[in-house]
Structure 1
Amino acid sequence: MAVEPTANVLESATRSRTGMIRVGIAMMLGTVAFIMPFSAGSSILLPARIALTNPDEKVQLLALITGISAVVALLANVIFGTLSDHTRTRFGARSPWILGGAVATALLLIPVSLAEGFGWLTFWWCLATAAINATAASVAAILPDRVPHHRRATIAALIGIGLLLGHAVGAVVGSIFAERTTLGFQVVGGLFVVLAVATVIIAPDFSNLDSSRVRIRIAEVTASFRFPRHAPDFYWVLWGRLVLVLGYFMVNGFQLYIFTDYVGMTEADAAAAVRLNSMIFLGTALIGAAIAGPFSDRLRRRKLPVILASVLAVIAAAAPMLSSDHQGMIWFAIIGGVAFGSYYAVDAALTSEVLPSDESRGRDLGILNIANTGGQALAPAASAALVAVGFGFFPVFIGAMAFCALGALCIAPIKSVR
């Protein structure tokens, strides 16, 4: 029988040098920071670059580069989460990795922007993806580190807003530079560093030099890939997030190609349409996040809002299937924004409450973040496979609906959280 931890036990494991408002703002900015380069790269800049150099194989090559980078992201997230758990500095455990990941990403995006040939583009993008995940793993660990249990859904709403802003800002910046991808990658890298610096300045952490030190051994890093045992709710959350993100990004991540090949727009008009959809998505998502997070805290329930958000994602994926013009994609952005605004606002709180151990938060959150990076990275491969069936993008929308529905079903069996 699952036993829910008491509030006193949960809160005793958290500590914060600043108030919750500053922590929430910092987590929102930090989330924007690491989502933005991934969004700009995977949804606009990489597809535009590949379409220019390999127009006949663009769908397959985009699936390949995102699939390879997904493996890198999965490994990097868990490794850097484990390393940050063991880091001891006067700036705390997470800040050095937040800043270091951002600076490394900015530097690596320079060769990405200059890469000639698909092989070199893949190589440098994978290294940049690893650096992005150093920041991502460390930002995610702030929530269980520093936020009391009863405030987590509200702070998670700000994280959700950060996720939405990151996707929207990344898509907007990427679409602006869709025909100048070299400059676009470099601008994104610079913005990443600025936001990471703001994150650690707004909510600095305590020094943890006096914390017990554990020497990091290769065997221990290897052990970080051992998934938690006897934690069924942890895995229901993992699978629920993975399939929902996979389903939604089967459509969202292919927007540029959907607008050109399904709706019938020129590439310039498609870039403008992606930019418009990103702003619509952001507006409706902010509404969903602002309502869902506090509502979940008041009800003291996490599962119901996440399930309802997943059902809305199913409806969003159906919209372009029912209408093959721009209007269908606009409805996808409107409904999808509400769905993911609500989902991200509550899911982070749900995630923090199913972690198996306080001693391995960074590692366990890194494993859960596999669902984010893995879902988004596997989506192009799934979409490419369905396009290859021979019926255009119609099977993609069906598949997206099925995965989003499965995401809702995965949440119902969770027992330790209401």
Structure 2
Amino acid sequence: MTHELQSLHKPHTETAILQMEQTGQKVGGLFVTRYIASLIGIWLALLTPLSVTIAIRVGQIDPAGKATSLALVASVGAAASLFANPIFGALSDRSTSRFGQRRPFILGGVSVGALAVIGVGFAPNIWLVAVMWAIAQTAFNAAIAATIAILPERVPSKLRGRVSGFMGMTTQVGVVGGVFMSQLLGTQGAAMFIAPAVVGVLLVLPFALTLREVPKTKNEVPRTSILTIFAAFWINPLKNRDFALAWIGRFFVWIALYLLTTYKTYFLIDHLGYNTSNVAPILTIAMFVLAVCIAASSIPGGWLSDKLNRRKPFVVTAALLFVVAMTIVAFSTTVEMFILGIAIAGLANGLYLGVDYALVAQVLPNVGSEAAKGMGVFNLSSTIPQTIAPIIAPMLLTIAATPGSGNYTSLYLCAAVLALIGAGFTQMLRSIH
């Protein structure tokens, strides 16, 4: 098994060393700091609307049909991200731009995405909100595909757990920052969309502008054709068994997470008695607690997984913690119980995300030539649940529900079961301890 793991790590390590030799750019503390800051910036601009402000905006435009309208907007945006991430990842792999393979997609993606998010803030109806949100998801996912590819390409194997741990907390740091801005600037105008978008771009610029890349020639990359688009969605699961199992396991875990995050605002409104004008402070507290707990478990978890050279035990522990968290949230009758459930969910989320990217980097096929495509296909395991969660949530809310209300207990108990299923698939990986 040791020999098998060494052979598995070798091409990934050689790729990182080759990139360092070609570019002359060392992957050290400053590089990682700028890299993590850029991810926080992307998530700040993208996840603030997804987690908070779009739900508020939809509630302002269509208060009576907010649940159905939110499902429409979230599903359209998720569908856009589903296509954008692998397609732009594959196009990034094939880029021969003199500015590099990754940098044009990072800069272009965050710029277009920020403008589209700002457009959501000015949209007067649900359909325009959906269109702007689809553009934003497409653009930001182009940036994400290029940025995430940096991990298997540039970061040595011995550092991936630690870097993955920091990456695991970036999403919630972005959300908390965005929620804080929304509370500070108010939730009645476009400012709740403008501020996160602008700050997000500013956080991305230092990394994107200092990233050194050696441009590829046309002879070094496969020819781009219409087949490139279709091939971007496919990695043979029979030839890459562990990659497929990692994908499926993450798929179930992320459905569970999206069931929590997408409908937490309406849980507070419909179940605990808040409304669109006073829910933001509670969301700020909840998201702050979530972020702190994610950081408390993801960074040490990633570091410890590097030291022990083990990933799977962390995933199982995270799933069990998530079951506890969802049970508490499901039966919450006070905001204090809700916050406690969120805190435990944060510990679970952080522990899982702390090894998530490090785990897939170990089983990623063709890392030297198709890192962005591979990470793009893997990211489908989180973007597809964005589409599925809003579709199945209304059905789960009707289980044993009283007329005119949703049963959030059934929703969150189902989320707990899905997380356990995901952990089970991860346990089936052969090449990873």
Aligning the two structures, in what range does the TM-score lie when normalised by the shorter sequence?
Answer: over 0.9
Instruction: State the identity %.
Output: 24
Aligned pairs (5 A) from 1:13-412: 13-14=15-16, 15-16=19-20, 17-177=25-185, 179-201=187-209, 204-209=211-216, 212-229=220-237, 230-358=239-367, 359-389=369-399, 390-391=401-402, 392-412=407-427
> Using a 3 Å threshold, how does the CA distance of structure 1 residues 175 and 369 change in structure 2: closer, same or farther?
farther
Residue 13 of structure 2 is matched in structure 1 by 11
Deviation track 1:102-149 (CA, whole Å, cap 9, x = no partner) reads 111122223322212111111111011100101110111000110111
Deviation track 1:16-68 (CA, whole Å, cap 9, x = no partner) reads 31333233223311221222223211221111111112112111111121112
Deviation track 1:331-367 (CA, whole Å, cap 9, x = no partner) reads 1221111111111111110011111222221111101
- TM-score, reference length from structure 1: 0.94
2:101/2:216 contact within 8 Å kept: no
Alpha-carbon distance between aligned partners in 2 of 1:38 and 1:350, rounded to the nearest angstrom: 24
Alpha-carbon distance between aligned partners in 1 of 2:8 and 2:56, rounded to the nearest angstrom: 51
Q: SS of the counterpart of 2:277?
A: helix
Alpha-carbon distance between aligned partners in 2 of 1:379 and 1:222, rounded to the nearest angstrom: 25
1:172/1:278 contact within 8 Å kept: no
Give the superposed CA RMSD.
Answer: 2.0
Alpha-carbon distance between aligned partners in 2 of 1:176 and 1:256, rounded to the nearest angstrom: 18
2:51/2:175 contact within 8 Å kept: no
Of 112-121 and 94-103, more deviation after overlay is shown by: 112-121
Q: Which amino acid aligns with 1:414?
A: L
1:242/1:371 contact within 8 Å kept: yes
Q: Which amino acid aligns with 2:245?
A: W
Q: SS of the counterpart of 2:214?
A: coil
For structure 1, which runs of at least 5 residues remain unmatched after alignment?
A: none
Q: SS of the counterpart of 1:254?
A: helix
Equivalent residue pairs, number: 417
1:40/1:173 contact within 8 Å kept: no
Alpha-carbon distance between aligned partners in 2 of 1:92 and 1:44, rounded to the nearest angstrom: 35
Deviation track 1:285-334 (CA, whole Å, cap 9, x = no partner) reads 11101210110011000111122112111111111223321012111221
Alpha-carbon distance between aligned partners in 1 of 2:427 and 2:158, rounded to the nearest angstrom: 22
> Cα offset for 1:176?
4.3
2:27/2:154 contact within 8 Å kept: no
- TM-score, reference length from structure 2: 0.91
1:66/1:378 contact within 8 Å kept: no
Deviation track 1:158-204 (CA, whole Å, cap 9, x = no partner) reads 21122231232233334445623422212222122111102224x51
